[in-house]
Amino acid sequence: MLLRLHDVTKTYPGTEAAVLRGVSFALDAGEMLALTGESGSGKSTLLHLIGGLDSADQGVVAIDGTDLTPLDDAGRAALRRGTVGVIFQQFNLIPSLTVAANIAFQARLAGRHDSDLAGELADRLGLTPHLHKYPEQLSGGQQQRVAIARTLAPQPRLVLADEPTGNLDEATADTVFDLMCALVAETGAGLVLVTHSERLAARMPRRLHLRAGALA
């Protein structure tokens, strides 16, 4: 079992209602699922807990048998570097780095930079002609491809994608989505995709729906 959540609860300071209320599910290596729900249902919060960007108030969030809940910031950051990769809707590329350097960035932090793999990812994602460009010189679709390559370059065991095509037009979104899923599948990593798109969610092998912080 790659990912296990058991009775996960999260409430933010200053609010009375819990954002997440007793969420439990598991994900095996190589398995892909879509996480859907209305705005405010807790999707992004749940993804942040899995990615170690925040911590749960109660419950277990375990990756490869390691419970993230008691880890400090440094422990969760180490897990992100070595085990979990996150693809954000806003790309989060480093503007002062070239495409090639952005792709290599996360892998270098993890001590796993492989120039052959980076080159293969760039080629598969259609980025080879743009390796010496900077993010501001790319289209939105190209920037998201760079973000995907950067996330996959360290070969994470678990990939989290938070609305990765939300800023793209439908045709570009479909292309980027197909490439992302194919590349993740080839690595054998697990994938949790947060999306508002019913169309994309329907194409995933498994789907979970959050409603008011609980799985419906």
49: tokens are 């807990």
pLDDT score recorded for residue 14: 83
Contact assessment for residue 106 and residue 154, using Cβ atoms and an 8 Å cutoff? yes
Contact assessment for residue 50 and residue 57, using Cβ atoms and an 8 Å cutoff? no
pLDDT score recorded for residue 116: 96
SS3 73: helix
Contact assessment for residue 152 and residue 87, using Cβ atoms and an 8 Å cutoff? no
pTM score, whole prediction: 0.93
Element (H, E) at 9: strand 3-10
Fold of 31-55+73-215: Rossmann fold (3.40.50)
187: tokens are 């690595």
pLDDT in tens, 72-97: 889 888 888 879 999 988 899 999 99
pLDDT score recorded for residue 69: 85
